[in-house]
């Protein structure tokens, strides 16, 4: 646990030294942009954190996240109505602490291409996965609304023809040096409503 606490402290120092500012949860934004419409997997009831351990990696089969599905009936990673990719934007401010751009079909990694952002202001991690492209790298400072990638179909389960193209997004709160998953649906709905205004 001390490693995570030390890492968080160093990341915080780096964040503020490189122009990061305090950004409260009330300033978060919806994580998708340039879409015709979205649906929530299982009407937003897909979150399940029972017996989940962040450090179990691929061996954990729970779903401590929400999936935001885009209109993509032909699985080409383009919005059916706009013909354009759907942008994934950072909900929060923070620092990119991990990114994977090398996923290829056949990989056993479930997440596919992803980005993890450490939100220094709120002491949490936001995890965005199944991306088609990744626009940021570790060490980059982001603010709410900054493009970090595009919705895709990467990851072990996403290459199946019956899987809907979606953003898999998770929130992990750092408590006593350990990342614990927390429901995000309330913030997703709140920021989606804010987007409509």
**In this structure, what CATH number is given to the domain that contains residue 109?**
2.70.70.10
* Contact partners, residue 114, CB within 8 Å, separation at least 6: 98, 99, 100, 127, 128, 129, 130, 131, 134
Rg (CA), the chain: 16
Residue listed under structure tokens 């492209």: 133
Rounded Cα distance between 46 and 40, Å, is 8
State the DSSP string of 175-187: ETTEEEEE--HHH
* pLDDT at residue 3, as a whole number: 55
Q: Is residue 55 part of a domain?
A: no
Q: Is residue 57 part of a domain?
A: no
* pLDDT at residue 152, as a whole number: 93
* Contact partners, residue 197, CB within 8 Å, separation at least 6: none
Q: Is residue 154 part of a domain?
A: yes
Counting the structural domains of the chain, the total is 1
* pLDDT at residue 193, as a whole number: 94
What does residue 174 show for φ and ψ, rounded to 5 degrees?
Answer: -85, 115
The domain of 120 spans 2-50+62-196
* pLDDT at residue 196, as a whole number: 82
* pLDDT at residue 80, as a whole number: 97
Specify whether the backbone of 101 is left (phi greater than 0), alpha (psi in -120 to 50) or beta: alpha
Q: Could you tell me whether strands 32-33 and 94-100 are parallel, antiparallel, or unpaired per DSSP bridges? A: unpaired
Q: Is residue 33 part of a domain?
A: yes
* pLDDT at residue 55, as a whole number: 62
Q: Is residue 155 part of a domain?
A: yes
* pLDDT at residue 42, as a whole number: 83
Q: Is residue 56 part of a domain?
A: no
User: Cα torsion for 87, 88, 94, 98, to the nearest 10°?
Assistant: -120
* Contact (CB, 8 A) for 92 and 155: no
* Contact partners, residue 45, CB within 8 Å, separation at least 6: none
* pLDDT at residue 1, as a whole number: 45
Whether the model clears a pTM of 0.75, i.e. scores above it, the answer is: yes
CB atoms within 10 A of CB 6: 11
Chain centroid offset of residue 2 CA: 25
pLDDT along the chain (197 residues), means of 10: 72 95 98 95 82 63 86 95 98 96 83 95 96 96 98 80 87 87 96 89
Q: Is residue 111 part of a domain?
A: yes
């Amino acid at each position: 646990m001390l490693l995570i606490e030390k890492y968080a402290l160093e990341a915080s120092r780096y964040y503020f030294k490189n122009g990061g500012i305090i950004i409260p949860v009330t300033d978060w934004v919806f994580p998708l942009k340039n879409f015709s419409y979205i649906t929530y997997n299982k009407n937003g009831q897909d979150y399940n954190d029972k017996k989940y351990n962040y450090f179990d990696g691929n061996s954990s089969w729970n779903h401590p996240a929400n999936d935001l599905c885009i209109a993509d009936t032909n699985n080409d990673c383009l919005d059916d109505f706009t013909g354009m990719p759907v942008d994934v934007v950072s909900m929060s401010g923070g620092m990119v602490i991990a990114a994977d751009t090398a996923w290829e079909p056949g990989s056993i990694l479930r997440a596919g291409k992803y980005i993890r952002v450490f939100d220094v202001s709120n002491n949490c991690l936001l995890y965005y996965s199944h991306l088609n492209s990744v626009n940021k790298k570790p060490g980059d400072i982001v603010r709410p609304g900054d493009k970090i990638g595009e919705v895709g179909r990467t990851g072990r389960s996403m290459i199946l023809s019956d899987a809907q193209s979606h953003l898999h997004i998770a929130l992990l709160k750092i408590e006593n040096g350990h990342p614990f998953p927390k429901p995000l649906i309330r913030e997703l709905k709140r920021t989606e409503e804010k987007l409509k205004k």
